[in-house]
Amino acid sequence: MVSFSPELLGLRIFISVIGIMGNVFLILSIIQTKFSRVKSFELFLLGLAVSNLEEILIVDIYDVVMRQVSSGSRNWTCRSLKFLTALGETTSILFTVLISVFRYQKLRDAHKRVNLPIFLDSLRSAWMVSGICVSLAILLSSPIYVLNLDEHTDNNTTSNGIGCPPDFFLCHKDNCPTVNRLYKYMFLLVCNLLPLVIITVTSCLILTVLLSQRSMITPVLSVSGSGQPGKKSKGPRLQRSTVAVLAAMGLFQVDWTLYLVFHLAFHPSDFHFWSEMEFFISTTYTSSSPYVYGIGNNLFSLKNIIKK
């Protein structure tokens, strides 16, 4: 792996700092509330922010660490850093799926359900599905420790003084072991393509519900608009929160579609700056999503900023 150019290094540091600040502030904004009063949606946001923060930090220190460790410990360090990167990435994706499904469940048949809770409204249920997400991410990331690393390490990798291939799946272009190839396509299918399909479908369903609700509410507001001016409807706040979720879903779809195309169509040996491209694609969502969710749910309000 070659050294960074000053421009790419500066841009990478800038994106990382922005991402760290956003995720840390989102975490602080949520945990300042007593856990007995934290709602399910805030718990899912907390899990997302923690996984985002972990991924950004691990990806940032990856290249630095791999240049400092001795050759004897590189194999273990390489696997551990790749495992932690995969863990943060997968957990972030799973919590995003959870947030999108939760928002759709809250909106679906809301006029019929009125104030009746859904399954994920229960804090116990929210903790349970959050634990399932983390456990599933650990399970999907663990095979990195058994992948073949040494047989396909090429001269370009070792000549740069780094005994860790730039490919996330430790797979050489011309001689990829079967277990590595199977893990690559399994990971891309389960952790990227399937969540991408779920979030795309969920986003379309949310848009459909919002459009139907708008067509139902507009005539009512035109009739009762002069009734009780002192009362504030909960509609705008819910609308803003839902728009934030949709915006984050759109960002997720763009980033992880590019990630899939990048990994399926190309190989690290095809690009001089493979790791930087992979970093910018994956980190765009982890760095910007806390701002989208925080602003949309009033967690990044001026009042909270002053408190911090």
Q: Each residue of 170-185: pLDDT tens digit?
A: 666 667 778 888 888 8
* pLDDT at residue 117 tops 50: yes
Highest mean pLDDT among 17-26, 110-119, 239-248, 277-286: 17-26
In a domain, 153, yes or no: yes
In a domain, 22, yes or no: yes
Indicate the range of 72-76, 182-186, 291-295 predicted with least confidence. Answer: 72-76
In a domain, 129, yes or no: yes
DSSP H stretches of helix in 108-163: 110-113, 123-141, 155-159
Q: Report the pLDDT value the prediction gives residue 154, as an integer from 0 to 100.
A: 46
Of 3, 96, 90, 4, the closest CA to residue 55 belongs to 90
- Mean pLDDT, the chain, integer: 77
Q: Each residue of 12-70: pLDDT tens digit?
A: 888 888 999 999 999 988 887 655 577 888 899 999 999 999 988 887 766 565 555 54
- Asked if 40 and 122 touch (Cβ cutoff 8 Å), the reply is yes
Confidence band for 81, pLDDT divided at 50, 70 and 90: confident
To the nearest whole percent, how much of the chain has pLDDT over 90? 21
In a domain, 290, yes or no: yes
Name the token pair of 283. Answer: 């980190």
In a domain, 28, yes or no: yes
Collapsing DSSP states into helix, strand and coil, what is residue 169? coil
- Return the CATH number at 168: 1.20.1070.10
* pLDDT at residue 279 tops 60: yes
Please tell me the pTM assigned to this model. Answer: 0.82
Q: DSSP secondary structure string, 195-255? A: HHHHHHHHHHHHHHHHHHHHHHHHHHHHHHTTT-TT---SHHHHHHHHHHHHHHHHHHHHH
* pLDDT at residue 194 tops 90: yes
In a domain, 254, yes or no: yes
In the DSSP assignment, the letter for residue 147 is: S
Q: Report the pLDDT value the prediction gives residue 268, as an integer from 0 to 100.
A: 67
In a domain, 222, yes or no: no
Range of the domain at 137: 14-215+246-307
Q: Each residue of 82-114: pLDDT tens digit?
A: 888 889 999 999 999 999 999 888 887 766 666
In a domain, 297, yes or no: yes
Q: Report the pLDDT value the prediction gives residue 129, as an integer from 0 to 100.
A: 93
* pLDDT at residue 208 tops 50: yes
To the nearest whole percent, how much of the chain has pLDDT over 70? 68
Work out how many domains the chain is built from and give that number.
1
- Asked if 228 and 250 touch (Cβ cutoff 8 Å), the reply is no
Q: What angle do CA 276, 135, 177 make, to 5 degrees?
A: 55
156 or 209: which carries more pLDDT confidence? Answer: 209
Distance of CA 191 to the CA centre of its chain: 11
Of 234, 224, 240, the closest CA to residue 103 belongs to 240
Helix/strand/coil percentages in the chain, nearest 5: 75, 0, 25
